[in-house]
Amino acid sequence: MTTIAARAREAAAHLHTARTTAPEHRKHATARARARLRIATLLALAPTAITTETDDQRTTELNTALILSAADPADPGAVYRFSILDPRFHDDTLHLLRPCPACGGEVPVREVRTVVDLADAHRPVDIPADSPLPAHLADAFADDPGHRTPCPAAP
């Protein structure tokens, strides 16, 4: 078992490497590396097991949103995808992304703060007709740009 101190040194080395070797601007490289570390810590994975890509649908003039992906080492068919709107901030909300059952677009279905929030992550997303969205759906679900138009779940 790796000690806490050793894991902290590995995280610091990962951050340093990202800052000094990434082809992008240092602040963007740092934000990506911190987001990878956040997901890696949440899922108890190595930071190198997390892939990042720019989330073009959710990026704004003020921030570069990211999609982070992690395959479950015990179940390689299970891939978890997360969106973070502003990775510069360590407390920005992570959203689990899943296909919308109405349109198939990749949308946030749950806020993720701890691993407990992923307990039923692979449960089918159910959207009842003519009633409010279920409480477990992320607040961002209905207004998310990941919906394909027209989508009955997105007003």
Would you kindly state where each structural domain of the chain is located, as residue ranges? 4-92
DSSP 58: T
Lowest mean pLDDT among 8-17, 47-56, 66-75: 8-17
pLDDT at residue number 67: 94
pLDDT (tens digit per residue) in 8-19: 788 778 777 777
Read off the pLDDT band of 97 (50, 70, 90): very high
Mean pLDDT, the chain, integer = 82
Please give the full DSSP string across 82-150, using - where no structure is assigned. EEES-TTSTTSPEEEEEE-TTT--EEEEEEESSGGGGTTTTSPP---TTSPPPTTS-TTTTT-TTSPSS
Residues 29 and 53: their CA atoms lie apart, in Å, by: 12
Instruction: Return the pLDDT at 24.
Output: 65
Q: Of 26-40, 100-114, 141-155, where does the model show the most confidence? A: 100-114
pTM here is: 0.80
